[in-house]
């Protein structure tokens, strides 16, 4: 398993940050050239606890199709998505549990937006080899951190321009 947290300071109120963050469909695809598709499983495309979200993206040069559910949502504060990502790598199909918690904390006249990302590899010897290769050869943690920072910086620019 690996996990990390990336943060960005945004000159805006937590309400403004949450308003944009919660409108996932308006920003997610545009926030990274590695994003391919996004499907929000609610008729009005609003995100709530229990909403199913599926997406396709490339991380570390490997394309994955992920699907999961918003397992927790506290409006204005935090939202957590968890699911399974299916990767194809060197002829293998790999299913990896993944998740992200987006959270907002007020700090004087700015808001701190954080993304806590985690991935859990399959159990057993194959999973350990896969994780070792991902970390040491593909540099997945550094590349996933860069991917996450790209999303955060995009949101920062979008929100601050609107303010």
For the chain, what is the total number of helices (H) and then of strands (E)? 4, 7
Q: d(Cα 58, Cα 161) in Å, to the nearest integer?
A: 28
Task: Give the percent of the chain with pLDDT over 90.
Answer: 74
Domains and CATH numbers, the chain: 2-162 (3.30.530.20)
Mean pLDDT computed over 48-72:
93
Q: d(Cα 73, Cα 110) in Å, to the nearest integer?
A: 22
Does the pLDDT of residue 90 top 90, yes or no?
Answer: no
pLDDT at 5: 98
Instruction: Dump pLDDT digits (tens) for 18-50.
Output: 999 999 999 999 999 999 999 999 888 788 999
Task: Centre a 10 Å sphere on the Cβ of residue 94 and count the other Cβ atoms it contains.
Answer: 18
First to last CA, the chain: 38
Point out which residues pair with 56 in neighbouring strands: 37, 65
């Amino acid at each position: 398993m690996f996990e990390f947290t990336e943060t960005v300071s945004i000159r805006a109120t937590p309400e403004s940050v949450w308003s944009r963050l919660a409108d996932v469909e308006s920003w997610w695809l545009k926030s990274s050239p590695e994003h391919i598709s996004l499907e929000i499983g609610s008729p009005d495309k609003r995100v709530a606890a229990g909403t199913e979200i599926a997406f396709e993206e490339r991380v570390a040069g490997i394309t994955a199709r992920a699907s999961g559910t918003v397992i927790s949502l506290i409006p204005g504060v935090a939202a957590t998505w968890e699911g399974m990502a299916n990767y194809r790598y060197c002829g293998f199909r790999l299913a990896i549990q993944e998740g992200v918690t987006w959270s907002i904390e007020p700090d004087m006249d700015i808001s701190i937006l954080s993304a806590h990302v985690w991935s859990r590899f399959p159990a057993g010897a194959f999973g350990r080899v896969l994780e070792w290769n991902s970390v040491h050869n593909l540099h997945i943690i550094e590349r996933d951190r860069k991917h996450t920072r790209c999303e955060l910086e995009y949101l920062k620019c979008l929100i601050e321009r609107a303010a």
